[in-house]
Amino acid sequence: MSELLTTLRLEDFNALVGRTIDVQIDDRFVASQVLAARKVGGSSLREGGGFAVDLRLPPHAPRQGVLLTRLPQGEVGIFMSPRKIVGGEVDYEAVFN
């Protein structure tokens, strides 16, 4: 696991809500909107607790998996799962615990 992945916090993504970040799909990066970031309940070893991030990706994104993502802190692979289709695009969720 990358060090960056273990140090990301809810506050990092709250600062990105309403903005776009680049996510790699196939061999290119596409702009993906950060829709929301929220605290999740339960136990977590992550400093500050667990959280989830909702992103909107183009319809040709993979069903689920680890996607290389460009954040202000650097590039990191983030596991994302599709949640729903909205107007031809797909909303994904990434959970950090």
Per-residue pLDDT of the chain (97 residues; tens, 9 = 90+): 589 999 999 999 999 999 999 999 989 999 999 999 999 988 888 888 999 999 999 888 778 999 999 999 999 999 999 999 989 899 999 999 9
CB atoms within 10 A of CB 89: 15
pLDDT computed for residue 1 by the predictor: 59
What radius of gyration do the chain's Cα atoms show? 13
Q: Where are the beta strands (DSSP E) in 2-97?
A: 20-25, 28-39, 51-57, 65-71, 74-86, 89-96
Identify the residue whose tokens are 């998996």: 65
Say how many domains are in the chain.
1
Instruction: Supply the range of the domain harboring residue 40.
Output: 3-96
Cβ pair 24, 61 in contact under 8 A:
no
pLDDT computed for residue 95 by the predictor: 96
Please state whether the predicted TM-score (pTM) of the whole model is above 0.85.
yes
CATH code for the domain of 60: 2.40.10
pLDDT computed for residue 41 by the predictor: 84
